[in-house]
Structure 1
Amino acid sequence: MTGHGEGWFALFPDCEAALAVASRLEPRAARTLTHPSGNPFIVGDWAGSVHARNSHGLFVALLGHTPVGAAELEAHLAGVREIEALDRLTARLPGDFHVVVEAHGEIHARGTAAGLRRLFHATTDGLTVAANRADVLARIVDAPVDEDVLALRLLDFVPHPLGDVPLWRGVHAVVPGELLRFGRTPARTARWWEPPRTHVPLAEGADALRRALDQAVRTRVEAAGTVSADLSGGLDSTTVCALAAPVSAGPLRALTMPSRDPGDDDVRWARLAAAEIDGLDHVLLDIDEIPLFYSGLLDVRGPVDEPLPTILDQPRQLVGHDALLAGGSRLHLTGMGGDHVLWGHPAHHRDLLTSRPLTALRSIRGYRAQNRWSMRETLSVLTDRRPYGQWLADAADEITAPRPAPHSPDVFGWDIPPRLPGWATPDAAASVRRSLREAARTAEPRGATRALHNELHTLHHGTRATRILHQVAEHSGLPLASPFLDDAVVEACWSVRSEERATPWDFKPLLKTAMRGRVPDALLRRTTKGEASADAANGLRENRGRLADLWRDSHLATSGLVDAERLVDITLRPSSPELRHGGLDATLACEIWLRTI
C-alpha cells in the first residue's frame, strides 16, 4: 500500500492458537508486531504508526495520522500502571488514528469517535480477533454475506442501529465512541467518548475550530511532505487548501473537476480561490476527462467494507490522481466531512422549544419558509412524541409507501422515514420489515435528544461513506485524508451553541468566522452551491444500455432481492422519475459491491 493511507490490520490475543489464525493473512501481511512471547499481535499492512512499551508492561500503539512521536509517546507512558489510565490518556491525543493498548494479556482497541477509523471483531476457533476492516475479518473467519443485511442496504436511508451492522455473518462492529476489550476475557465494549456540551459562543468556537483544523492539516502535510488537494470551489475544500499551502513542501497542487451543468459556478469560485491563496498550483481538469455518472462501474476496484453509493463515484473521484502521483504527491487532502460537522441540525430548534421558545420558533419559521412546508405537516412532526423504538417499528410498516418530499419537516423528527425501491422483491421487503421490527424492540437513539441523535447519525453515515472512498483511493495508489473528520475538529464544532451554528439564515457561519482572513472574502459571501445534476442525468441516458446489461446478469436478482426485468425496463427509460428518485444508487452500490468481494 501507499505509505500514508489507513491500510489494514488485525489484532490477536497472546496465545499459541493465534499463530494458525494469523497465518491465514499470508502473504498479504507486510508487517507484524509480536507480543513479548513471540506470538503475533498486530498483523497487516499499515503505515504511520508509533508505539512504545513501559517498564510496567503496558504497550500502546497509535496507527494513523498523529503529531505524537515515539519520544513523546514514551513520556506519556512513563509511570502509567493501569490500562484504564492509558485509555484516558490516549483520548486526549490529537490526530486521526487507531489506538491499541495491551497489558498483561488484556487488549483495549478503538477507532475514532467520529467513525472514520473503525473497528470490528469476530470469533474463530474460540479466538477473538479484531480488525480495522470488516472484509479482512470475513476473510479470516470465512464468513458468508448476510443477505438480510444486504436487503437493508436497498433502503434509501438505513436507520440506526442497522447502518452499523456489517455485511458478513459473525462479524460485529464496534460503535464509534466505544472501545473493544478482549484477550483473557470474552469480547466486550465500553464507551470512551461522549459528545461535548454545546455552550461555547460562536466567536470563541471559531478560534478553537481554526486551531483544530490547522493541526489536522499540518499533521498530514508534515508527515507526507508532498501533498495535493481538492479545490472544488466550495468553502470546505478551499479551507483545506488555504491551511495546507503555507506548510506544503512545495506548491500545493490543487485539483478542480468541472461540471457539465451550465448552472454550476464552482469553477469560477475555484479560480478565484487559486488566484488569492499563495502557494497553489491550480490543476483544472478538462471537461472531456471527466466520466459521466454511472460510467466504468464494472471497472470499480474492491473489495471495500460495505456497499455505499460512494463506490460508484470511483471513476469520477479519482480522475487526475495518476498525474498527481506522477508529480510526487503522496497524499491527497479533501474537504469531505465539512457538511457533516458544520451543518447544525434543524432538530436543535425543536429541542430549544422548551428552554428558548422565541428563538426556536423564529428559526422553525425560517426553515418552513425556505422549504415551503405547510403548517399542518410541520406541527405534525413537532408534536410527535413517539420514542425512538416506536418510530422505528412504525417505519417498518411504511417502507413501500410513497417517498416523502425532499427536504420535508421530518428533519425535526428522529430521521427521514426509509423507503425501499419499487424493484425490491416481496421477499426483500419482508426481510427488511423483520429486521426493522426486531431492532425496534431494543433500539435506543444515538443521543438523548432528537438533535444529538440526528447529528451523530449524520456524522457516522458521513464517515462511513468517506471511509469507503478512502479505501478505493488506496487501491488506486494515492490515499486520501479528510481533516474535517478528526475528533478534535468535531468537538470544536459541536461545542458551539446550537442556536448559533444551526440556523436557516446563514450557511456554515462557524467556518466562515473561523476562516476569515485565511479564505478569500468573496468566497465567504458565496450564496450558491454547485451540483452535478446534469452529469447524473446525462450519465443515466448515455449508460442505459450498459446498466441494462448489468441487471440482466444481476447478482442481487440471483439472491432474490430485486426484480431484474423491472430494473431493465426502467433503466431503458432514463427519464423515468422512478429511476432518478427511486433509490437507484443504493441498489447499484449493492450490485457492484457483490461483484468485488
Structure 2
Amino acid sequence: PPPIERSVRSALRGGGKLKFAVMATHIDSSRHLEGLFSQGLKDIAWTPSGQPWLFTDSPNDWYVKTVHPGVEIAFPTDYRGPGIDQVPTTSSDVDKLDGLAGQVTRTSFFVANVNGVLRVQGTLCTRKQVFWSTEDGIPVASNKISVLHRLIRPKIDRSALALYLMPSLPQQPLADRTHWKGINAVFAGNWLKISGSSARNVRWWSDPGRDLEFKEGAVAVRSSLNSALLNATAASDIVSVDLSGGMDSTSLCFVLHDLGRTFAPFRTSSLSASNDETRRAHGVAQSYGWSLRELRPLAEYSSTFDLAPETSVPALYEGPIAWAASRRYLDDLALAIAKSGSNLHFMGLGGDELFDYMPGTVRSLWLESAPRALGIIRHLQTSRRIKGRTLLRAALRGDSYQQTLERVSLAMQQRTKADASDRYSWVPPMEIPHWFSDEGRALVIEKFSTIAAHPPAPLGNDPLAQQTIESITFQGGVLRQLSEVYAASGIDWQAPLTDIEVLRAVLRSRASARFHPDNDKPLLAAAVGSAAPHDFYHKRRRGDFTTDVHVEHGKRRRALFDELSESALADLGIVDHAAMRAAVYEPSSTDLGLFDAEHIVTAERWLRSVEQITGRN
C-alpha cells in the first residue's frame, strides 16, 4: 500500500470523488456484486477464503493492512494524523477497535473486517458519513447514497420530506433518515456493525464532561484548533478561507496567520445597512496585509425563491440541499478558489454552535452554578428581551431527554401551545405549520411518536451539550453536500471548528465560558488570544443577511406564486396546496415565516428535479 504520509493530490481532493462500499459476504450476493462492479467499484480487500468485502473506485487511494490473523483494517489515504503503527491493532474483537477507529475518523473513514464481522465508521460531524441498506438479507454500506440507490431503486420517503419541512427539529433522533425508503444513515456518534444478514448502529461517542476552567478550556480549544489546521494544511502550499468579517471565519484567518500558513481570503457582503462585517473584514485585511478577494453581494446571487431545477445528479441523491439559496455564489466562489491555486478551503461553520448562546444554555448554567446562572439569566433578560420568569422556569425544569421528547410529541398530537420555557429545554417545541395537509401532519406525528417512545441516549450530558453536538452534525452535513456537488472542482471544503477535538475541548469547558460582560464568544476570543486585534471580539451587532432574503422575496413572490400553481409537494399529499401557496406569497413578518417559504421552495425544487433528471417520483 502507498505510505500514509504521502502528499495527497489525487482524486481524493474535494472529498466528493472517493466512492466505496462494504458488503457482508453471502453465497447469494452475485447480483449485488454485479451492481457494485457496474458502478465502477473494484474489490480491494478479501476474506481468507477469497471473497471480496471492500470495493472502491479509487484503489490507489486506500491503505489496507492485515494487522492480526483474521483482522484487516482499511481507510482512505486522505487520513491526516499520527502514524497508524502508534496504535495497537491486535484485537480480534471488532467492538474493541475504538482507539484506532477514533484516530482515523478524526478526518476520514475507517473500515475493518474481524473474522467476518464488519465495522464501518465515519466522522462525528457527519462530513464523512456512512449510509446503508439491506435487500434480500444482504446489508451493503457506502459513503454514497447513489451507490445504494442504484442497487435497490427506492422510492421517495414522504415522512422524511415532511420532517424536512418542519421549522424546528431535533437532529439526533432523526439522524438515521435519508429521503429514500430503505436507505439509512448511521447515527451520529455510532458505527455500523454488519454481521451476517444483520446491520445495526453501535454507539462509540460519549460526552467528555465539564472538567476545564475557563483558561484551561481556552488553551485546549487553541491546541486542538492548531492541530486541526496543521494536519489539514500539511499537503497544501496555499489554502483559501472565508473572511466574512464575522468572528468565526476571521478567527480561522488569525490562527492560520499565527501558524505561518499562506492563505487566500474570500468574502461576500450584504445589502443590510446594519451589517458592518464588510468594514471589519476590510479593516482586518488591511491591518494584516492580506489580499482580500471580494465577490458580489450575496443578494445578487441568491436563488432562495427560485424553482429552476437542480442539474447536479449527485446532489439529488442527498435530498433537498441545505444551502441551495447560495448555490450561484458558491459556483463563483469555487471558480475563484481554483483560480487562486488553492485546493483546500476553510469555512467558519460551527462557530456559533460552539461558542455562542444556545437555547439549552440556561438549564446547563443552572446545573453548573445556580448563583452564577441567576446573574446570566438577568443579563439575557435585558439583552435579549426574554421574560426572566420564563428563563427561570427553564433553568429549574429537570425533565430528562426522553421526557422532553414525549412532551413535545404529545403537544403535537393534541395541538396544544407550547409553554414559553419549552424553547429553552433539550428539544425545541415542534409546531406543525398550518399549511401542512392532514396527511402530512399525520406523517410527522407518527414518526416522532415512535421516536419519542424509544429515543437514542442523548449525545450530550445536558441540554447545551446536546444542542451543540447536534448542530455540529448538521454543519458537517452541509460540508458533505458541498463536497458532493463540487467534487469535480477538486476543492476540499473544510470547517475546522467542526473537528472532533475542537468540539471536545469546548464541551469540557463550563457553560459560563460562553458569557462575558465585554466580549462576544469569550472562549473563542481567549483561544485566539494575541493573534487577533485586542478589540476584535468586543460586543457588537451580529452579521445579518435577513434583509437580502426579504428583498429577494419581494422581487420573486408573484412569479413564485404562479409557478406553484402545480406542486409536487401537493401531489405527494404532504401540504395543503392553497394554504402552501398563500404562505409562500405572504409569509409572516417574522424570519420564521421566510424560513418556511424557503424550505417549501427548496423541497419543491428538489422534487421537480428528481422527476426531471431521474424520472422517479
Q: Same fold (TM over 0.5)?
A: yes
Partner of 1:162: 174
Partner of 2:284: 273
Question: Is the contact made by 2:80 and 2:107 (CA closer than 8 Å) also made in structure 1?
Answer: no
Q: Letter of the aligned partner of 2:600 in structure 1? A: T
Deviations 1:407-448, CA, capped at 9 Å, x for gaps: x64443122212233322121112212222222222255144
Is residue 495 from structure 1 mapped to residue 508 from structure 2 by the alignment?
A: yes
State which drifts further: 118-127 or 541-550.
541-550
Greater shift, 46-55 or 8-17, is seen at 46-55
2:336 to 323, 331, 337: 323
What amino acid maps onto 1:588 in structure 2? V
Q: Kindly indicate whether the alpha-carbon contact (under 8 Å) linking 1:114 and 1:463 is maintained by their aligned counterparts in 2.
A: yes
Task: Report whether the alignment pairs 1:226 with 2:235.
Answer: no
Deviations 1:80-103 (A, max 9, x none): 555444332332458321211222
> What's the counterpart of residue 254 of structure 2?
242
CA-based RMSD: 3.2
Whole-Å separation in 2 of the counterparts to 1:441 and 1:76 = 40
SS in structure 1 opposite 2:169? Answer: coil
- 1:437 corresponds to which residue? 449
Written as runs of structure 1 = structure 2, the 5 A alignment for 1:403-422 is 409-422=421-434
Residue in structure 1 matching 2:14, options 4, 28, 35: 4
- Count of aligned positions: 591
Q: TM-score, normalised by structure 2?
A: 0.86
2:542 maps to a residue whose letter is K
Q: CA deviation at 1:512?
A: 0.5
SS, match of residue 321 in structure 1 = helix
Report matched runs for 1:279-298 at 5 Å.
280-287=290-297, 290-294=300-304, 297-298=307-308
Correspondence for 2:154 = 143
Aligned partners of 2:98, 2:399: CA distance in 1, in Å? 37
Matches within 5 A, 1:520-539: 520-525=533-538, 527-539=540-552
Paired residues for 1:344-355 under 5 Å: 345=358, 347-353=360-366
Residues 1:332 and 1:155: Cα distance change in structure 2 (over 3 Å)? same
Letter in 1 for 2:470: H
Alignment of 1:47-446 (within 5 A): 49-63=62-76, 65-68=78-81, 72-74=83-85, 76=87, 79=90, 81-92=92-103, 95-159=106-170, 160-184=172-196, 186-245=198-257, 251-277=262-288, 280-287=290-297, 290-294=300-304, 297-300=307-310, 301=312, 302-307=315-320, 309-343=322-356, 345=358, 347-353=360-366, 356-396=369-409, 398-399=411-412, 409-443=421-455, 446=458
3-state SS of the aligned residue for 1:11? Answer: strand
CA drift at 1:453: 3.0
2: distance between equivalents of 1:224 and 1:297? 38
Q: 1:453 to 1:124 in 2, by over 3 A?
A: same
Q: 2:519, 2:538 within 8 Å by CA — same for their partners in 1?
A: no
Mapped partners of 1:342, 1:31: distance in 2: 44
Query: Could you tell me how far apart the structure 2 residues matched to 1:122 and 1:65 are?
Result: 26
- Please report how far the alpha carbon of residue 347 of structure 1 lies from its aligned counterpart in structure 2 after TM superposition: 3.2
Matching of residues 460-475 of structure 1 within 5 Å: 460-474=473-487
Residue 178 of structure 1: CA displacement? 1.4
For the Cα contact (< 8 Å) 1:295–1:539, is it kept in 2? yes
In terms of mean alpha carbon deviation, does 367-376 or 444-453 score higher?
444-453
Task: Find the aligned partners of 1:455 and 1:47 in 2 and give their Cα distance.
Answer: 37
Residue 543 of structure 1 aligns to a residue whose secondary structure is helix
SS of the residue 2:373 aligns to: helix
Distance of 2:587 and 2:32 partners within structure 1: 49
| Cα offset, 1:487, TM superposition | 0.8
Compute the TM-score of the two structures, normalised by the length of structure 1. 0.88
> Are the counterparts in 1 of residues 241 and 263 from structure 2 also a CA contact under 8 Å?
yes
State whether residues 128 and 143 of structure 2, in contact with CA within 8 Å, keep that contact through their aligned partners in structure 1: yes
Cα offset for 1:317? 3.4
Matched, 1:544 2:557: yes
The CA deviation string for residues 191-233 of structure 1, in whole angstroms up to 9 with x for no partner, is: 2221112111221221221121122122222234432111111
Work out the CA distance in 2 between the residues paired with 1:281 and 1:52: 45
How far off is 1:144 after superposition? 1.4
Encode CA deviations 1:306-338: one digit per residue, 9 max, x unaligned.
435323332233433212213322122111112
**Paired letter, 1:305:** E
Residue 466 of structure 1: CA displacement?
Answer: 4.0
Q: 1:127 to 1:445 in 2, by over 3 A?
A: closer
What SS is found at the alignment partner of 2:265? strand
CA distance in 2, matches of 1:187, 1:82: 16
- SS in structure 1 of the partner of residue 133 of structure 2: strand
Q: Which amino acid aligns with 2:118?
A: I
**Partner Cα separation in structure 2 for residue 149 and residue 110 of structure 1:** 23
Question: 1:106, 1:181 within 8 Å by CA — same for their partners in 2?
Answer: yes
**Cα 1:193–1:398 shift into 2, 3 Å:** closer
How far apart are residue 485 of structure 1 and its match? 0.9
**Residues 309 and 585, structure 1, Cα contact 8 Å, conserved in 2:** no
Structure 1 Cα separation of the partners of residues 204 and 456 of structure 2? 18
User: Kindly tell me: are residues 202 and 192 of structure 1, through their superposed partners in 2, closer, same or farther at Cα, counting changes over 3 Å?
Assistant: same
Distance 1:239 1:365 in 2: 29
Describe the superposition over 1:340-369 as per-residue Cα deviations: whole angstroms up to 9, x where unpaired: 222364534424536622112112222222
Instruction: Report the more deviating stretch, 551-560 or 494-503.
Output: 494-503
Counterpart contact for 1:346–1:502, Cα < 8 Å: no
| 1:38 CA displacement | 5.4
Q: Using the alignment, how far apart are the partners of 2:210 and 2:484 within structure 1?
A: 33
On the 8 A contact 1:18/1:39 being kept in 2, the answer is no
